Amino acid sequence: MYSRDLCPNSGAKRIVERLELLADSAGGRKDGVNRYSFTHTYAAGMKMVQSWMEEAGLTVEVDGIGNMIGTFPGLDMELPPVRCGSHLDSVPCAGMFDGILGVISAIECAQSWKDSAYSPKRRLEVISFIEEEGSVFGAGCLGARYMAGTKMMQNPEAVKNGDKSLRDVLSSWDMTRETPYSPGRGSAHAYLEMHIEQGPQLWRNKKSVGVVKGIVGILKQDIKILGESNHAGTTPMADRRDALVRAAELIGWIDSQARASGGNLRTTVGDVTVQPGARNVIAREAVIHMEARSGELETLQRFSKEVVSRAAAYGPPGEHDAFYNLDQPIMMNERLVRMLTDFAAESALPFEQLWSWAGHDAKIMAEYCPTAMIFVPSAGGYSHSTLEDTEVGTIGDGLMLLEKALKTLCSEE
């Protein structure tokens, strides 16, 4: 459990205090944080973050989707900015660190610059992204996609949750009702994001920070297995063509392939749709909803084909790719990864390079500007849970690394 009293870094202590205040305003640390985008609770959190941005000397604006941007002025305001931040929204019953740690840490860096009267060459933009989790519209990183000006965000009518579109939501929400919808914010010199790891690697290896080398790709695929419905009691076992039994065998094989991959592949079957779905009827159809993750595109492509081939052996043939989507891995910027690695070594911080197995706003930003991420450990590997926890001392180490990198980037020509 974090202990503010054990950390000499006053900035890290203030970060934790603010995370506690934000958590308590959105459900509390014990019962879980519920801060969904485009809600009154979210707007209340925005106002708290805005006050801290302004206290740190940032000029604050809210764009057309609800991203909040605080600008720390540079000596040459014509130069593209350095951007830093993460997201404010949460999943249901969340912990208090996911996403918002990166926003509050960026604000703390700006606060230290204001307190020391430091003036960077380039301006710093601290960003609180909206709707990273996808809890409202089912698609993640909408705020980052809007800032990047992606094709998906050009038509707010096309982004929907049931009958309600993104345009409907924005036109009725107090924080964006008067703001023009205009995706894209121009180029940036770099983007940095500090985040909890959300996995156990740093914690188990007793590292205080991690330098992310890339964000894994995600394969989402539905596999349909066909059988034959019949009476559950009168059909002998030898005469059955049970689609669900065949699907269960395939699920076991999918899991075994990930376990044998040496850590290069992670697979999950979190849902199976069965027809007709009755206790006393043999299943005629089972659809496996599979997800696979890897840092290697070729691994995901090959595994998808292997799953389809394996499913075909269960005949008669079903729709083995009824749904297919492959989100490719994204590497972090090589120069920025090297910079963070060198700074961590120079500062004698226990660190390692690692993959991010979760998606982040940085994955979107990396397609439009040089991007890097700093991880701090998640105690026990917990995230998206009230058990989510990070020691304040490692937050201090991550903050030190972040501030040094931001100062370097903001001083570049």
pLDDT of res. 9? 77
Strands 371-376 and 190-196: parallel
User: Residue 276: is the preceding peptide bond cis (ω within 30°)?
Assistant: yes
Question: Which residue would you say has higher pLDDT here, 215 or 318?
Answer: 215
pLDDT of res. 316? 63
Q: Which two tokens stand for residue 149?
A: 């000006």
Match domain 4-215+330-410 to its CATH number in 3.90.76.10, 3.40.630.10, 3.40.630.30, 3.40.50.720.
3.40.630.10
pLDDT of res. 322? 66
pLDDT tens track for 72-119 = 999 999 999 999 999 999 999 999 999 999 999 999 999 999 999 999
Identical fold between 4-215+330-410 and 217-327: no
Q: Which two tokens stand for residue 251?
A: 């699920």
CA 267 to chain centre: 18
pLDDT tens track for 159-198 = 998 889 999 999 999 999 889 999 999 999 999 999 999 9
What confidence category does residue 6 fall into, taking pLDDT thresholds of 50, 70 and 90? very low
pLDDT of res. 153? 96
Domains of the chain, by residue range, sit at 4-215+330-410, 217-327
The CA distance from 44 to 38, in Å, is 11
Residue 2, pLDDT above cutoff 50: no
The CA distance from 183 to 239, in Å, is 59
What values do phi and psi take at 99, rounded to 5? 80, -65
How many CA atoms are closer than 13 Å to the CA of 305, on its beta-carbon side? 5
Phi-psi region of 138 (alpha: psi -120 to 50; beta: other; left: phi over 0): left
What confidence category does residue 319 fall into, taking pLDDT thresholds of 50, 70 and 90? low
The CA distance from 268 to 358, in Å, is 13
198 within 8 A of 389, measured Cβ to Cβ? no
What confidence category does residue 320 fall into, taking pLDDT thresholds of 50, 70 and 90? low
Residue 401, pLDDT above cutoff 60: yes
pLDDT tens track for 225-251 = 999 999 999 999 999 999 999 999 999
pLDDT of res. 314? 77
What sign does the CA torsion over 153, 156, 162, 168 have? positive
Q: What is the mean pLDDT of the chain?
A: 94
Nearest CA to 357 out of 213, 260, 258, 215 is that of 215
pLDDT tens track for 260-278 = 999 999 999 999 999 999 9
pLDDT of res. 5? 43
Average pLDDT over residues 347-371: 97
pLDDT tens track for 374-400 = 999 999 999 999 999 999 999 999 999
- The third-level CATH classification (topology) of the domain covering 217-327 is Alpha-Beta Plaits (3.30.70)
Inter-helix orientation angle 40-55/10-24, to 10°: 160
Write the CB contacts of 10 (distance below 8 Å, at least 6 apart in sequence). Answer: none
What confidence category does residue 8 fall into, taking pLDDT thresholds of 50, 70 and 90? very low
What confidence category does residue 1 fall into, taking pLDDT thresholds of 50, 70 and 90? very low
Tokens 């790709």 map to which residue?
217
Residue 143, pLDDT above cutoff 80: yes
Nearest CA to 377 out of 365, 369, 389, 387 is that of 389
